Amino acid sequence: MADRCNLLQQINEISFTVNDLNLYLDTHPLDENALDAFKQAMEQRKQLLQTYAENFEPLTMNCICPDTNNKSQTKTKYPGQRHFTWSDGPLPWEGGTL
């Protein structure tokens, strides 16, 4: 199973990269290298978010899937039951023990 803290750190780092490239592309929309880097970073971010959702809980609405989220069944009120996983937590901004 993936390490929650390590995975969150990777998501934060690639999200920073995506945001930075987004700002750059706002003013340089034809830069081929930046477009390629943005595409790669977005694919990596999507995969990391999906991995996190599968092992823990979804961080974005795009990752909610009652059939595949939280396979580890950690931090849930509904272990072993198919449920809306958005409320599984703790959410990163709530603090507390991960």
Per-residue pLDDT of the chain (98 residues; tens, 9 = 90+): 568 889 999 999 999 999 999 999 999 999 999 999 999 999 999 999 999 988 888 888 887 777 766 666 667 777 777 767 666 766 666 765 54
Q: Would you give the end-to-end CA distance of the chain in angstroms?
A: 14
> How far is Cα 95 from Cα 98, in angstroms, rounded to an integer?
8
Which residues fall within 8 angstroms of residue 1, CB to CB, at 6 or more apart?
55, 72
> What pLDDT does residue 27 have?
93
Q: How many CA atoms lie within 13 A of 8 on its CB side?
A: 13
The ranges assigned to domains in the chain are 4-92
Tell me the residue length of the chain: 98
> How far is Cα 23 from Cα 74, in angstroms, rounded to an integer?
36
